[in-house]
A and B are shown apart, each in its own frame.
Chain A
């Protein structure tokens, strides 16, 4: 079955560590996105990528980095520079850049311990 797979589902990070969240899709979608969800805040855009080897910052990119070496994969690294990383992270993909509906993964819940 086609879909978006995020791993791990739960992730614990010590302060000062970098961690990488995985996002893989087998939908042959061109565009991929990372959103962050905090309680009562809705979802906010971190980074997005329209094509391989290209990506743009979203509204809250500070403290995060991404790569897009393959069409299927869009990993997100939460660096030690991100001061408040505890949140729920959702990855999404879209077939084209024409505002068709986005498909979302099941999310990764990151907690700083």
Chain B
């Protein structure tokens, strides 16, 4: 069965600090997809990134970067020079190829960025 673990329940940082959110996943499939979503206080989930299991290239988008390592089944998310607007709950999720795009979510990491 698939599983996603986000061991960090809550992280507090001061603005401009770098922060890494950890995500470890379990799956028996060789084809799968990994996602990160952001949930601001308003409640909706905002898509950040999708990565398929055959693409281990790291990705950078502005202050955001992602490190995908199949050898350790991890898909970590780093925010560089954090800002107050980054405060939110961040979810890592897994979708297996044969499961109709259903998502298995981790329990989320709440990030608090103080000025």
Residues of A with Cβ closer than 8 Å to B? Answer: 31, 33, 35, 40-45, 48, 50, 56, 58, 88, 90, 92, 94, 96-107, 109
Rounded to whole angstroms, the CA-CA distance of A41 and B105 in the bound complex is 9
B-to-A contact residues, CB < 8 Å: 4, 6, 9, 33, 35, 37, 42-47, 50, 52, 91, 93, 95, 97, 100-108
Q: Is the CB of B100 within 8 A of A58?
A: no
Decide yes or no: A31 and B35 within 8 Å by CB, A42-B91, A88-B43 being known contacts: no
Complex interface: chain A residues within 8 A of B4 (CB): 42
- What is the CB-to-nearest-CB distance from A9 to chain B, in angstroms, rounded to a whole number? 9
Complex formed: what's the CA distance from A107 to B33 in Å?
24
Most A CB contacts (10 A, CB to CB) among B42, B44, B91, B101 go to: B101
15 A-B pairs within 8 Å (CB atoms) are namely: A40-B108, A41-B107, A42-B107, A43-B93, A43-B105, A44-B105, A45-B104, A56-B100, A90-B43, A90-B44, A97-B100, A99-B95, A102-B101, A103-B47, A107-B43
